[in-house]
Amino acid sequence: MALGWANSTTPGGWKWTYAAAVLPAAAMFFGIWLTLSSPPRWLLSRGLKQEAWTSAAFVYVHREEAADAIIADLTASAEATEKAATTRVAAVEAAQPSDRDVVKGAAAGLAGRGGSSAAKPPLFVAANRRALVAGLGVVTLQQVCPLGFWV
């Protein structure tokens, strides 16, 4: 706040106020880059199971069984997704040319209107509500509170 006030009467002083934010931003960038590991799902997709477990164990400190459960769940999810994708591709390839158009049209129609059996979008599921409120709260506070107030 003092830096913003001190530069309020200086021509072009706002540049120094914004430049002062570079140091904390750089510290956060390098801190995150050096301390956070890659997500377990990404590591599993690359076949790095041990690194994925280590990444999950980093989040669930002193709870190896939680890391094991996360890795098992991600592995099962990836296998089910791969199996479903293979089944869908095989069904479309096996269909007659006229049937293929019907299958693609039906899939596009269900995706476009949500279908009666479609679940709520993941953004509005109750389990994600806290994260949604926290994220929107941070964005709102960033817009309401000027940078010069914190520097």
pLDDT in tens, 84-134: 888 877 776 666 555 555 556 555 555 544 444 455 667 777 777 888 888
Instruction: Say what the pTM is.
Output: 0.44
Residues in the chain: 151
CA-CA distances (angstroms) from residue 97 to 33, 76, 87, 102? 50, 34, 18, 9
pLDDT in tens, 14-27: 777 778 888 888 99
User: Does residue 30 have a pLDDT over 80?
Assistant: yes
Q: How confident is the model at residue 138 (pLDDT cuts 50, 70, 90)?
A: confident
Q: How confident is the model at residue 148 (pLDDT cuts 50, 70, 90)?
A: low
Alpha-carbon gap, residue 69 to 59, rounded angstroms: 13
Phi-psi region at 38: left, alpha or beta (left = phi > 0; alpha = psi -120 to 50): beta
Position 54: which residue type? Answer: T
The more confident residue out of 22 and 147 is: 22
pLDDT in tens, 51-85: 888 888 888 877 888 888 888 888 888 888 888 88
Position 6: which residue type? Answer: A
